[in-house]
Chain A
Amino acid sequence: MSYLGAATNIVGGELQGWAAVLEKQAMKDAYQQEINKQNQFQQQAMGTFDPSKSSAAAMMQGVGQGAQGRVRAYNQIGQVPLGPGPSHQIGQPQINLGSADAYTKMLGQSRANLGGYSDWAVQQAINNLNTQRQLDQISNFAGSEAKNIYPLQMYKAQHSLDDLAMVGQAISSIGGGAANYAQLSQAPTQAPGYYPVYSGNQMSPAIWSGYGGYGNMPPQGTGYNPYTDQSTAPGVMSGYGF
């Protein structure tokens, strides 16, 4: 029985130990999976950036497009007639407004070139907004994964082999019980010391109180018999322990 207890204790402890080790490994795997997942989010976020929109060449292209758009707008609105032209004397040639037109066009081109920078800045701000939206969504998803799911995945990994640990615990408890039972059921290996005690009544040998209550039998091997040995009769001898 004692061997069974020892064996079950060993097996149970081994199972619990393996459960702890494997759970630790599972937690490590869960951590690595989370790292990989966050790396994917990071790659996804990096994909939202478009360096071609932020370069100096892209800026100049945007400025040029903005300027062209403004020149078009100036030309269109310049062709809108707002009223009759200048008055002039009858019989005289019409007044030439070529210098005003040339000045307006020249000023318009410069004005459009200047306004192109503003147009690029506005477009860039809108591009940044669009990029920020995508980043917000990605960071929202990534943050929620890390904040709401990852701890529970770690919890799951931490308790993934609870069954094995419980079985080990159960087996260990069986072993502990067996050991206790073996200890209780085992015969004593050492004889108790015998001290014949005289109780004061001299009528019967039964008054001899043996050691440990073993039927007042004398210890084995001593050669002493209180029924036959008269030397121990009360009042004759001092007796053991007197």
Chain B
Amino acid sequence: MGFTLYDIVKGGTPDYAGMSQAQEQQRQQAITQGTQKINQAFSGFTPSFYQQRAQAYQDFALPQLSQQYQTNRNQIGFGLANRGLLSSSAGTKQWNDLGKAMGQAKQTIADTGIAQSQALQQQVQNQESTLLNQLYQSADPAGAGQQATQTAANYAAPSVYQPLGNLLGSVANQYYLSQLINTYRPTGSSPQVGGPPSYYSGMGGLPNQPAYGY
């Protein structure tokens, strides 16, 4: 009898399940709130942002490619003019080779920009997932939102780019090698000036013109 009275006085069995359920609801609300904060912090990473990121690399790389192009163009033009081949088929081929190399170089730059933007996109997504996982453990929306803002700001900061490599190296090497071969070609084998043009083929397949001056 006494135990019944004691239990009544003490309020009976506490509703542990109800208390736990209430705590769990608060935790889930906190996680939902934190998820919204994280998504808000990362809301700036839109497709247009990543397109701008790719464009930024193009803007960075194209001037360097332009510098390389002009250097090669001048050297090829000088070499062709030096041999009187500016309007020849050999010259046309040389310019076309340069044009092809230029086109591929531009495409490579575009691909590199896309790849870098995609890599950044994956990093951002991974980081967002990491923050969400931390939020699931901590259920601390304030901390998660603050950390997400810091992380997003770090990603939005400008990256350090590596300078562009020599994208027109193949054309330049081809040209220089041809020049080198012509320079050291035995004079005995050179055709006489005014004679029929010989077509000694260099490494690049450039038809040799009558050897002016050598």
**Chain A residues with a Cβ under 8 A of chain B:** 69-70, 73-74, 76-78, 80, 82-84, 86-89, 92-93, 95-97, 99-101, 103-105, 107-108, 111, 115, 118-119, 122, 125-126, 129-130, 132-133, 136-137, 140-141, 144-145, 148-149, 152-153, 155-156, 159, 162-163, 166-167, 169-170, 173-174
Contacts and interface: CB of A to CB of B under 8 A. Distances in A.
Given A82-B69, A97-B99, A149-B24, A74 B106 contact: yes
Contact of A162 (B13, B17, B65, B99): B13
Interface in B16-61: 16-18, 20-21, 23-24, 27-28, 31, 35, 54, 58
B125 A140 contact: no
A73 B114 contact: yes
A44 to B, nearest CB: 13
Contacts of B87: 88-89, 92-93, 95
B145 interface: no
Nearest to A167: B4
Contact of A136 (B15, B16, B133): B133
B175 to A, nearest CB: 13
B86 A88 contact: yes
A92 B114 CA distance: 41
Interface string B95-124: 111111011101101110111001001100
B91 interface: yes
Nearest to B95: A86
Contacts of A101: 99, 103
A173 B2 CA distance: 11
Contact of B99 (A100, A122, A153, A166): A100
A148 B139 CA distance: 15
B132 A137 contact: yes
6 contacts: A78-B107, A103-B100, A107-B103, A133-B128, A137-B136, A144-B28
Contact of B16 (A83, A108, A137, A155): A155
Contacts, number: 161
Contacts of B1: 170, 173-174
B66 interface: yes
A104 B16 contact: no
B195 interface: no
Given A77-B62, A170-B4, A136 B136 contact: yes
A80 B201 CA distance: 34
Interface of B: 1, 3-4, 7, 12-13, 15-18, 20-21, 23-24, 27-28, 31, 35, 54, 58, 62, 65-66, 69-70, 73, 77, 80-81, 86-87, 91-92, 95-100, 102-104, 106-107, 109-111, 113-115, 118, 121-122, 125-126, 128-129, 132-133, 136
A206 to B, nearest CB: 48
B111 A140 contact: no
Contacts of A84: 70, 73
Contact of B110 (A70, A99, A100): A70
Contacts of A125: 122
A166 B115 CA distance: 73
B7 A166 contact: yes
A83 B106 CA distance: 13
Contacts of B133: 136
A87 B125 CA distance: 49
A126 B21 contact: no
A159 B100 CA distance: 83
A153 B27 CA distance: 18
A132 B129 contact: yes
Given A108-B107, A137-B31, 12 more contacts: A77-B107, A78-B106, A83-B73, A87-B86, A92-B87, A97-B95, A99-B96, A126-B122, A136-B129, A156-B13, A156-B18, A162-B7
